Amino acid sequence: GDAFLDQLALNSDGSPSVANVIPGDIIREQSYLLGSVRMWSTLIDEFKRQGYQEGDDLFVLPYDWRLSNRDSAAKLAQKITFVIGTTQSPRVNLVAHSMGGLVARAYMATKKGEILGGDRVRKLITLATPHHGTLGANLDARSIFVTNSNWKEAIEKGDHVFWTCYN
């Protein structure tokens, strides 16, 4: 069965039902019965070839994908504070994949004083981030799945404001 997945369940308030589930490292390589696939180790190796050193000026942030992006953005804020303190650089460059891009956007879009906001980010590069959500929220699909034009307009205005402010 799938009872082993029960430890990943969240309570109705969004908190973890099992406290000892903590994120490990990012997925650098995935081993299978017949071999392995290099996931993020290829990109990290490229950064190293460009002169970056992990732990000195190259840092990763594994996070619990089950939690809200706002919670993960708070963890990102903590990591950025650590990185700025370690490197003595006033701002960081972020490279984020998939939901990590939404976490970075949530961090950058917070009001000053709440978390830290985008003033500590020099560049944000996102890879395969669902900026327009799932298929049902995709720009092309919105007209098919969404009949409320006010909702569509609000999302499009929000997209415009974000990309105007942070690009």
- pLDDT above 90: residue 79: yes
- pLDDT above 50: residue 161: no
Amino acid at 31: S
Instruction: Give the closest residue to 73 by CA, choosing from 94, 54, 58, 90.
Output: 94
- Cα separation, 57 vs 17, whole angstroms: 35
Q: What is the DSSP letter of 110?
A: S
Q: Which of 9-13, 95-99, 134-138, 163-167 has the lowest mean pLDDT?
A: 163-167
**52 vs 159, more confident:** 52
